[in-house]
Amino acid sequence: MPSDLSSINSNSYNLEYPVLGIRTIIKSDIKQIYQLAESRFGHWLNLSQINISQNPPVTITILKSSISSSVSRSSTIQFRVDKDFLSAHAAGVVFTADRRCGKAEAYLNPMIADLSDFFQINILECMVLFLVTSTDREPLHASAVIRNTTALLICGNSGSGKTTLAYNLYKRGADILAESSTYISSRNGFQLWGDPIGFNFEPNARELFPELTSIPEYRLPNGRIKIPLKLPIQGESDRRRWAFSGNIIIVFPKCTGGHQSRICEISHADMIKRLTSNRESGFDLSDTFENSISGLPVKGSYIIETGNDLLQTMEILESLFY
């Protein structure tokens, strides 16, 4: 694993990171890719406490091309997913990823690497996560916050309020495991994984959080507009978690628009039905999802009807940890 640019061959180089505990090799003949991969996944090299899978690594190869490029930060990449195979293209880039062999290839105009956020989110991250989730890492559309020995999973489709609730719990002292994608490992005992780089808010979240006012928006691969708030890097103020084993509580937020918030416990069967129904694109790639979530060590599952009093909602959620 290289630690500085001097270790990179003038023509090509290899990087390796244990992303979500899965060995991930990134190859490229574009030197700038090193810096972008390091800034996005380099933190995984410092997490000595994680268990690294013994499965074969996944490999991402990124090669420079003379494809003309008019891509910008507001551009949308066109994706096509056929179960285990992903193909995508935009002006200046084409890439594929095959979960069956654990390999991805991208050909891009090097100018796209200058759009660092666009490249990291829409190309690099997309290929890496598409591959690593094929190896005992089932993606669940949920935020995950941790307090003491309990993880609270806030589950729901886009726009359900997961990020708002998770961010408020984080501000009130909870650790963060996942902002919107939690990964379940079940082969050697159940474990949750996350890659919490920051929070991604809907544009209207500026009304709730003034700290978002000056942060520019960006476009996700699915075309949705988000405001990214990056978390502090490793240090005394770092409350990011990367893996978790312990008790789990599952909550489904439901916005009612009323003045009072209230919570209602639901059965295990109802929880499974809610998690397996109407899964969004990207969270529906596995046929073993129901088996993975059925055995989770869930202490309880609830619907929380969120009213206009955000403080009351936070107090209800925090009470579930005890």
What's the CATH number where 228 sits? 3.40.50
Q: What is the C-alpha to C-alpha distance for residues 186 and 178, in angstroms, rounded to an integer?
A: 18
What is the pLDDT averaged over residues 190-212? 91
277 and 156 together in one domain: yes
Note the pLDDT of residue 11. Answer: 55
Output 288 or 64, whichever has higher pLDDT: 64
Q: What is the C-alpha to C-alpha distance for residues 48 and 20, in angstroms, rounded to an integer?
A: 13
What is the pLDDT averaged over residues 174-194? 92
- Which range of residues forms the domain containing residue 18? 5-132
128 and 166 together in one domain: no
157 and 127 together in one domain: no
What is the pLDDT averaged over residues 121-140? 93
Note the pLDDT of residue 76. Answer: 79
Q: What is the C-alpha to C-alpha distance for residues 318 and 322, in angstroms, rounded to an integer?
A: 8
| Burial (0-12, 13-18, 19+ Cβ within 10 Å), 139 | buried
Q: What is the C-alpha to C-alpha distance for residues 37 and 88, in angstroms, rounded to an integer?
A: 19
pLDDT digits (tens, 9 = 90+) for 203-227: 888 988 999 999 988 777 667 788 9
Note the pLDDT of residue 10. Answer: 44
190 and 305 together in one domain: yes
219 and 265 together in one domain: yes
CB 302 within 8 A of CB 156: no
Coil, helix or strand for 245?
A: coil
Residue 63's nearest CA partner among 109, 129, 22, 118 is 109
Domain ends where: 113, 132, 151?
A: 132
82 and 212 together in one domain: no
Q: What angle, rounded to 10 degrees, do the helices at 162-171 and 310-319 form?
A: 80
116 and 212 together in one domain: no
pLDDT digits (tens, 9 = 90+) for 238-292: 789 999 999 999 999 998 777 788 999 999 999 999 999 888 888 888 888 888 8
250 and 283 together in one domain: yes
Percent over 70 (pLDDT), the chain:
93
Residue 175 confidence (pLDDT) above 90: yes
Output 237 or 202, whichever has higher pLDDT: 202
251 and 108 together in one domain: no
Note the pLDDT of residue 225. Answer: 85
CB 42 within 8 A of CB 17: yes
Q: What is the C-alpha to C-alpha distance for residues 169 and 199, in angstroms, rounded to an integer?
A: 12
Output 59 or 221, whichever has higher pLDDT: 59
| Burial (0-12, 13-18, 19+ Cβ within 10 Å), 238 | middle
Domain ends where: 95, 115, 132?
A: 132
What is the pLDDT averaged over residues 44-73? 87
Residue 8 confidence (pLDDT) above 60: no
Q: Do you know the residue count of the chain?
A: 322
Domain ends where: 132, 158, 187?
A: 132
Residue 110 confidence (pLDDT) above 70: yes
Count how many domains the chain has. Answer: 2
176 and 104 together in one domain: no
Q: Parallel, antiparallel, or unpaired for β 298-306 and 58-64?
A: unpaired
249 and 263 together in one domain: yes
Q: What is the C-alpha to C-alpha distance for residues 194 and 197, in angstroms, rounded to an integer?
A: 9
Residue 4 confidence (pLDDT) above 70: no
Task: Tell me how crowded residue 289 is: count the other CB atoms within 10 A of its CB.
Answer: 18
Note the pLDDT of residue 18. Answer: 95
Coil, helix or strand for 167?
A: helix
Residue for token pair 């891009």: 108
Q: What is the C-alpha to C-alpha distance for residues 2 and 88, in angstroms, rounded to an integer?
A: 29
Helices within the chain (DSSP H only): 31-41, 116-119, 125-132, 162-171, 268-276, 289-294, 310-319
pLDDT confidence tier of residue 6, bands split at 50, 70 and 90: very low
Note the pLDDT of residue 1. Answer: 35
121 and 153 together in one domain: no
List, in sequence order, every residue forming a beta bridge with 6; answer none if it has no partner. none
Dihedrals φ, ψ of 36, to 5°? -70, -40
